[in-house]
Structure 1
Amino acid sequence: MYTIPELLLARAEDSSERTFCSFYGQRTTFKQLLHGVQEMAGALADAGVQPGDRVGFMLASSVEHIKLYLATSWIGAAAVPFSIHLKAAGLELQLNSCKPRMMLANRMHAESIRQALSAIHLRPRVIWLEDGVDLEGEIGLNRLLRTSRSMRTPASRSLDDPVAINYTSGTTGAPKGVVLSERWYWVGAKNAAILSDAQREDTFFLWEPFYHIAAWMTVMMALHKGLGIHMVERFSASRLWDQIAAAGATKLHYLGGLVNIILSQPPAESERNNRVSIAWGAACPADSWRKFEERFELMVREGYGLSEGQNFTHLNLRGVVGSIGSPVDEFDSWLIDDQGERVGPGSVGELVLKPKLAGITMTGYFGEPEKTAEVMRTDGCIYTGDTATIDDDGNYFFRGRKKDALRRRGENVSAWEVERVLNAAPGVDEAAVIGVPSPLGDQEILAVLKLREGSDPSPLEIMKFCDERLAYYQVPRFLQFVDEFPRGPTQRIKKSDIEINLKNAWDAEQAGYRPVRSV
């Protein structure tokens, strides 16, 4: 196993002139990548970043973003990616948790960042990627680069040092920062390479935003194998196959409902006139699996993972439709019932992971030992909170989540975080957020609302309030109003007993309302 700085040095040595990444017609070699990382590391160090610090990222996809992220590891610091779609309310939670020394961002997010920082009285230095007018404590990256010197020698690092703190969806409360080590990144990329059959001559099509770990696994595979990446700024279903064909890309990553979105596009010549042989990822809808393979003449390779465990803990290399596969070499797994007893084929149970090597799972939730202990038990296992079944051949099948979360537009969404905003909306007394089936294969968000006595806000008022405070994928589609909620003995809302009535619910899509995207 090697750290990120060691990999950067090795690829600059043995693959110096090979293409690491192409983006908007710009080609970056592995040698240029190393020099760029050293240059960015020097700038960040001059700005005050030290080993052990945390550096926040709120940046769109770019080669500079990659260099800055890898530069944090070069310095010995840890990156903290934030979704570029977060508004001030969401940023406030995560910034208050990780308290970064530095914040790297695009200026288009200035209002949200400044508002969030002022609300929590946090004063990290902010480095903007673009030139412009700076307030106190802010500076443009180009100004730093003009006066800084490259950092030629990396800080000393071990495989257990943190690379990043990635915030989860906060399935049972506020989002939690998952601390991921160099060792985690190494094993994650190794198994992603097995699933995708990554080869040195491959070109991987990279569309994922960099607040997703999947994007960094593609970067890590490039550092492992010396393979190339063709990156686009954002996903476009209508242009996907034209972009892939023009790039000569050979491998495509997917997430959940993306498969059905791609299938819904009209036929195009480029969808068959390209070099893609494998689509790899997670949560491919079972009823679309073969349709996807046959229409686009490729092979679907499905896996399963979670940040707390590993990027992939299970791989389906046998092509069993609907299966997440069997455990990777580094893990054992089994299923348990509500009493903690193991269950066999045909029974639904919680998926439990047992790492065979030390240090390959998350280090823990940042600053939350009690929450960490709920998932990482004293028996050394990871209790995933996800349910599955297993067949007689050892193939696992994902069945659902025990946690209070849902998945929408390929994003994990915390019901708690959406409810937190809804409960502050005009006229709302209490809210319950529930995931309902979507024709795209993941879920839509239903907000069930009890209004305060005497109040009568319009659905549009509530939606606009949410839109100003939540990422577009967190904004509910349906609003259902109730007089009272069903409750348990402790007076907590029993979501399982709520009668869902979508026919009579207000539907944002039918009303023509679209949440505003940040980009």
Structure 2
Amino acid sequence: MNETLRQLVERRAATNGADVFLMFGEEVITFAELKTQIDARAAALLRHGIRPGDRVGLMLPTVPEHIYLFFALAWLDAIVVPISVHLKALGIRTQLASARPRFIIADGGFVELAHALSEDARVEGVLWRGETPDGDPRFKALADIMAQGGLVPPHAAGGLERRCMVSYTSGTTGEPKGAVLSERWFQIGAKNAGLLAEVRPGDVLFLWEPFFHVAGWMTVLMSLQHGVRVGMVERFSASQCWDQMRRYGATQFHYLGGAMNLLLKQPERPDDGDNPVRIAWGAAAPTQSWKAFEQRFGVSIREGYGITEAGNFTMLNHDGPLGSIGKPVEEFDAFIADEAGNQIADGTVGEIVLRPKEPGITMLEYLGNPEKTAEVLRDGCVFSGDLGYRDAEGQFYFSGRKKDALRRRGENVSAWEVERVINAHPTVEESAVIGVPSEMGEQDIKAFVRAAPDVAVAPADILAWCKQHLAYYQVPRFIEIVTDFPRGPTQRIRKTELPLSTAGSWDAETAREGSDSAR
């Protein structure tokens, strides 16, 4: 993969200009139109003052405009900083303090961003798509900038090694970390995703992922690499998903996290197997749902494994055993290590370690965090923080997360972030957050809460507080009030000793169902 993102778009526009690139609702966009739209935005953003190396936040929904702006920033050698559209003001401030973007481009409906920016003077300007909030001279309308036009910038010198994105992984432990990714990371990641999905001429890729998740960009790049079309929706809907894929004629469906179980939980229909999808590809397919999904919907599951720090997909299971994450892709070797980093025998659970065969294909660093970078990138390898084992045939298996991390609804969730919000509640003295098994195949969030002296804690109040300050996927489902925690010699909470059982815990789902039935 020796083309830059710009060269890839330009080649596809030249060779397949009249072919459909994207279907979004009633919109149909060709590869030639894609380039025209990108050129216009690159010219306008250059005129507005965005320069090579600038970090630019993008907080936009899954719409064509988001794609145009992502590539327009690549034209300028600028660095994209995706911001989750679900974050509230506190989470946005945390990310902005780390990424320090010079500019932000956002949807006018995201009032939480406007609130967050009121306390952040480091951002020089914000371009709003649609309605522009009042009250800040830095706020400009994107449409006004576009109307001013400008000249399409020449090819920049950054190349495949240039810093393309700072992707916030939502953290594994502690504060979220921004993984700095190159254009080469994206190109190789999409190449391996295409191998996993077995993309071939005439395929249609279904895209539902938000663009603050790198999976969405993999689908876009797979389309450009293979010259196939994309059918895109703004958000995932379990009840509408199959009908949407039928309408687009989608042949590939990407599953993330609990999406597979969400679809299995939908009422069965006589036409479940009557769909155009050939391959369902992704990661974290619940083993118990794998065959049921294939049989009900008439598709083939293709499971893989990857982490942002190493590559989008670093292992692929095309025809291996059920539950396996497969074998390493051609760019990586892999082994299982003990606590000292030494390779251990097959069949033994340890940390999954990935060794790139060439430089520059993993993340470059955690932005502004050399200590955490050195923990993950060391001895020429990427230490994943995930547990797993390898069998005698060389197939790898995922066994869980090594550190204090949660995986919910396709997103990594930092327990530290959730605890910080809960601890800010006036009735809370201390909290601890863990992941517990979920019926959806990943994890639910359980929060243990210790009350401040001489006050009472109400779980419903903690839930409402979390909904106000956290993204929906960060909000705990279970809340348990405790008088103290198991602790180590330094008084640090021993989370491994906190009970995973939810019996007796306050359950937000049960509380909501009770409230609904009482109406």
**TM tier relative to shorter chain:** over 0.9
Q: Secondary structure in 2 aligned to 1:512?
A: helix
Q: 1:332 to 1:394 in 2, by over 3 A?
A: same
- Report the CA distance between 1:67 and its aligned residue: 0.3
Q: Secondary structure in 2 aligned to 1:292?
A: helix
1:505 partner letter: S
- Report the CA distance between 1:122 and its aligned residue: 2.5
* Contact residue 204 and residue 231 of structure 2 kept, 8 A: yes
- Report the CA distance between 1:175 and its aligned residue: 0.5
**2:452 is equivalent to residue 441 of structure 1:** no
Alignment: residue pair count:
512
In structure 2, list runs of 5 or more residues that go unmatched. 515-519
Whole-Å separation in 1 of the counterparts to 2:186 and 2:450: 44
* Contact residue 131 and residue 141 of structure 1 kept, 8 A: no
- Report the CA distance between 1:273 and its aligned residue: 2.1
* Contact residue 426 and residue 462 of structure 1 kept, 8 A: no
* Contact residue 131 and residue 142 of structure 1 kept, 8 A: no
Report the more deviating stretch, 476-485 or 146-155: 146-155
2:517 maps to what in 1? none
Identity fraction in percent: 48
Whole-Å separation in 1 of the counterparts to 2:501 and 2:250: 45
| Cα RMSD (Å) | 1.4
- Report the CA distance between 1:240 and its aligned residue: 1.0
Question: Where do residues 209-358 of structure 1 align in structure 2 (5 Å cutoff)?
Answer: 209-358=210-359
Q: Secondary structure in 2 aligned to 1:214?
A: helix
* Contact residue 386 and residue 401 of structure 1 kept, 8 A: yes
* Contact residue 433 and residue 447 of structure 2 kept, 8 A: yes
Q: Secondary structure in 1 aligned to 2:360?
A: coil
1:400 maps to what in 2? 400
- Report the CA distance between 1:340 and its aligned residue: 2.7
2:380 partner letter: G
2:56 maps to what in 1? 55
* Contact residue 301 and residue 319 of structure 1 kept, 8 A: no
Whole-Å separation in 1 of the counterparts to 2:424 and 2:229: 47
1:164 maps to what in 2? 165
Whole-Å separation in 2 of the counterparts to 1:282 and 1:62: 24
**2:423 is equivalent to residue 423 of structure 1:** yes
1:205 maps to what in 2? 206
Whole-Å separation in 1 of the counterparts to 2:465 and 2:474: 12
* Contact residue 355 and residue 381 of structure 2 kept, 8 A: yes
Whole-Å separation in 2 of the counterparts to 1:499 and 1:362: 35
Question: What per-residue deviation string (whole Å, max 9, x for no partner) do you get for residues 244-289 of structure 1?
Answer: 1111111000012111111111223543222110000000011111
2:481 maps to what in 1? 481
* Contact residue 191 and residue 328 of structure 1 kept, 8 A: yes
Report the more deviating stretch, 211-220 or 339-348: 339-348
Q: 1:270 to 1:245 in 2, by over 3 A?
A: farther
* Contact residue 4 and residue 182 of structure 1 kept, 8 A: yes
- Length-normalised TM-score, structure 2: 0.96
Q: Secondary structure in 1 aligned to 2:374?
A: helix
* Contact residue 127 and residue 141 of structure 1 kept, 8 A: yes
* Contact residue 449 and residue 481 of structure 1 kept, 8 A: yes
1:369 maps to what in 2? 370
Whole-Å separation in 2 of the counterparts to 1:133 and 1:119: 15
1:451 partner letter: A
Question: Where do residues 68-217 of structure 1 align in structure 2 (5 Å cutoff)?
Answer: 68-110=69-111, 112-134=112-134, 135-151=136-152, 153-217=154-218
Whole-Å separation in 2 of the counterparts to 1:499 and 1:141: 50
* Contact residue 275 and residue 297 of structure 2 kept, 8 A: no
2:428 partner letter: V
In structure 1, list runs of 5 or more residues that go unmatched. 515-519
* Contact residue 40 and residue 150 of structure 1 kept, 8 A: no
Flag as ranges the 4+ runs of structure 1 deviating above 4 A: none
Question: What per-residue deviation string (whole Å, max 9, x for no partner) do you get for residues 390-409 of structure 1?
Answer: 11111000001112111111
* Contact residue 300 and residue 319 of structure 1 kept, 8 A: no
Question: What per-residue deviation string (whole Å, max 9, x for no partner) do you get for residues 46-85 of structure 1?
Answer: 2211011011011001111100011110111011001100
- Report the CA distance between 1:121 and its aligned residue: 3.2
Report the more deviating stretch, 437-446 or 119-128: 119-128
1:517 maps to what in 2? none
Whole-Å separation in 2 of the counterparts to 1:154 and 1:215: 25
